[in-house]
Chain A
C-alpha cells in the first residue's frame, strides 16, 4: 500500500485523514497527561517530532541488517538513545518544563506512535520517505497536543502560555475558570469531542 502513496501524501495524510492520535489511536498516554498547559504540550510535540523523524531514518537505514527475532529490542534501543539525548537537552536548556513533564519525556520510548510507525513504515521503506513519514506523524500528533492543550489551558486557567487570555472584565462580571478542565479526565472528554467532530466529517472512519 505504502509504495503507491506519493511523498506528498506520506507527509500530509497524518495531519487529518490518518492522524496518529485520533484515527490510529496511538500515543494516547502523553496526549492526555501533558496537555493541562500549552507550553509543556508544545515542548512534548517538538520532542516527539524530533525522536520520531530520526528513529525512522535510523531504523530505515539498518532495516536490512536487523534480525527479525530481536527487532523490537533493536528498535527500543535506537529510540531510547534518541530520547536520552532529548531528555538531557531539556534538562540543560528548559529545566522548568522538563520538571513539569516529569516521567513523560522518558515515556516517549514506549509511546506507541514510535513503535507503530517503525513497524508499519520504516521497516519497509527507504530513509527519505521514512523521514517524511516521521515528521508528518509527529506533526499530526503535535497538532492534537497543541489543540487539546490550548482548549484546556484557556478554559481551565484562563491563560495561554502563562499569559492571561480571558479579559479582566469578564471575571468582574462573574465569569469563573472551569477548574474541572485541569483535571485529567477532562483531557479524555476533549479528545473524544475532537474524535466526534472529525468522524462526523469523515464518514468512512465511523465504526459499526
Chain B
C-alpha cells in the first residue's frame, strides 16, 4: 500500500519535470512530435526503473557510512559516501551501454525506433536525479526504489507526450509572436502545465 502511494506521488506530485525540472534539456529538444517523444519517454522510464534499484543496492551495501560491515568488523566505520556521485553515474552510463547492446541484439525493431535516444539517456538529469533523491531520502527498501523509479519514469513520459501533443498543434494552428516561436512558447506551455500539475499537491493519499 505504501509503495502504491509512493508510485502515485512520484507520477503526479513529485513529477520530475514539473516539480524538479529534471531532464529538461531533452524534454525541450525532443518534444516536437508525439511519436519520438513517446519513444524517449519509454527509454527514460526503463532506465529509471532499472538504475534506481541498482544504485540502491550499491548505496546500501557499499557506499553508506558503515555499509561495508558485511566484509568484517574492521570495515564497519568506513564511509564511502563521497564516491556516490561517481559510482552512480558510472552505473548509469554502463547500464545504458549494456541495454543498448542487448536491445540491438534481441529486438532490432525496438532498437530502430529507440536507438538514437538510448545514448542520450546517460546524460539525462532525470536518471541521475532519481538516484540522488534516493540517496538523500534514505529509501527504506528496494521495493520503494523500484516503485519510485517506475513512477518518476511514467511521470516524465506523461509530461513529454503531453507537451509534444500541444506543440504539434501549436505549430500549425496558431499565430505566435515571432521571437517566442519554438523554444520560447515551449517554456511558457511547460510553465502553465506546471501550474496545472500543482493542483495535485492538494491530494492526500
Using CB atoms and an 8 Å cutoff, list the residues of chain A in contact with chain B: 25-29, 32-33, 72-73, 76-77, 80-81, 83-84, 87-88, 102-103, 106-107, 109-112, 115, 183-189, 191-192, 195-200, 206-208
- The answer to whether A188 and B89 touch (CB under 8 A), given A103-B132, A103-B136, is no
Contact (Cβ within 8 A) A207 B181: yes
3 closest residue pairs by CB, A with B: A207-B182, A199-B179, A188-B191
Contact (Cβ within 8 A) B125 A25: no
> In the bound complex, how far is the Cα of B124 from the Cα of A103, in angstroms?
14
Of the candidates A73, A83, A185, the one whose C-beta lies within 8 Å of that of B195 is A185
Contact (Cβ within 8 A) B25 A25: yes
Of the candidates B22, B28, B136, the one whose C-beta lies within 8 Å of that of A102 is B136
Of the candidates B82, B122, B190, the one whose C-beta lies within 8 Å of that of A88 is B82
- The answer to whether A186 and B182 touch (CB under 8 A), given A28-B28, A106-B128, is no
Q: Which residues of chain B have C-beta atoms less than 8 A from A28's C-beta?
A: 21, 24-25, 28
Contact (Cβ within 8 A) A29 B93: no
> In the bound complex, how far is the Cα of B26 from the Cα of A25, in angstroms?
10
Of the candidates A183, A198, A206, the one whose C-beta lies within 8 Å of that of B181 is A206
- The answer to whether A195 and B184 touch (CB under 8 A), given A73-B93, A185-B191, A189-B191, is yes
> In the bound complex, how far is the Cα of B182 from the Cα of A192, in angstroms?
11
Q: Which residues of chain B have C-beta atoms less than 8 A from A198's C-beta?
A: 179
> In the bound complex, how far is the Cα of B185 from the Cα of A77, in angstroms?
35
Say whether B90 faces chain A, with CB atoms less than 8 Å apart. yes
Q: Which of B163-205 contact A (CB under 8 A)?
A: 177-185, 187-188, 190-192, 194-195, 198
Contact (Cβ within 8 A) B183 A207: yes
Could you give 25 example pairs across A and B, Cβ below 8 Å? A25-B183, A27-B25, A28-B24, A28-B28, A32-B21, A32-B24, A72-B93, A76-B122, A84-B82, A88-B82, A107-B129, A110-B89, A110-B127, A110-B128, A110-B129, A115-B123, A184-B18, A184-B20, A185-B195, A187-B191, A188-B188, A189-B187, A192-B191, A199-B180, A207-B182
> In the bound complex, how far is the Cα of B20 from the Cα of A26, in angstroms?
16
Q: Which residues of chain B have C-beta atoms less than 8 A from A189's C-beta?
A: 187-188, 191
